[in-house]
């Protein structure tokens, strides 16, 4: 029996406040609920999912560097870093495994400044607008990507 594939699910600023943060935009699922949903989907797909959250751009960049060095697949919701973090974009460009950008809401249906993602061009793909389900779809997309490689 082979060991499950390690997958990181990384979350940027304010995502640890899910459930209380703007539930009309982000839904009522708590951060703990997000973690549980990702872990459950991961088990179904043969992944060992590790979910992390940070409000620190440098920490997020270090996690991406570590993932690149270890060839670890990533699902990332960069939060606000999506729109301006060229440092994060440059770290993601160094990826050595599939990386899926996710968003709970649809950025294109929101304020204009959210319409630009500086990380999308260096991600394998982007999934947005399906609530917490965006993460589950991203994990399934990772499984498909890994099966093709």
Q: Which residues are annotated as a binding site?
A: 77, 83, 90, 104-105, 114
Residues labelled catalytic: 26, 103
Q: Which residues pair with 75 in a beta bridge?
A: 9, 100
Residue numbers belonging to the annotated binding site for substrate: 77, 83, 90, 104-105, 114
CB 11 within 8 A of CB 54: yes
Distances (CA, A) of 72 to 30, 69, 92, 137, 142: 26, 8, 12, 18, 11
What are the tokens at 145?
A: 């990507």
CB contact set of 72 (below 8 Å; sequence gap of 6+) = 6, 7, 8, 66, 97
């Amino acid at each position: 029996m082979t060991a499950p594939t390690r997958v990181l699910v990384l979350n940027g600023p304010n995502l640890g406040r899910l459930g209380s943060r703007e539930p009309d935009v982000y839904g009522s699922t708590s951060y703990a609920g997000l973690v549980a949903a990702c872990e459950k989907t991961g088990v179904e797909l043969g992944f060992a999912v590790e979910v992390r959250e940070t409000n620190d751009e440098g920490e997020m960049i270090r996690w991406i560097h570590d993932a690149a060095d270890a060839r670890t697949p990533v699902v990332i919701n960069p939060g606000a870093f999506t729109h301006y973090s060229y440092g994060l974009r440059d770290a993601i460009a160094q990826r050595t495994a599939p990386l899926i950008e996710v968003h709970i809401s649809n950025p294109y249906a929101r304020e204009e400044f959210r319409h630009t993602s500086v990380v999308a061009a260096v991600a394998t793909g982007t999934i947005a607008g399906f609530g917490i389900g965006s993460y589950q779809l991203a994990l399934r997309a990772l499984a498909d990507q890994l099966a093709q490689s």
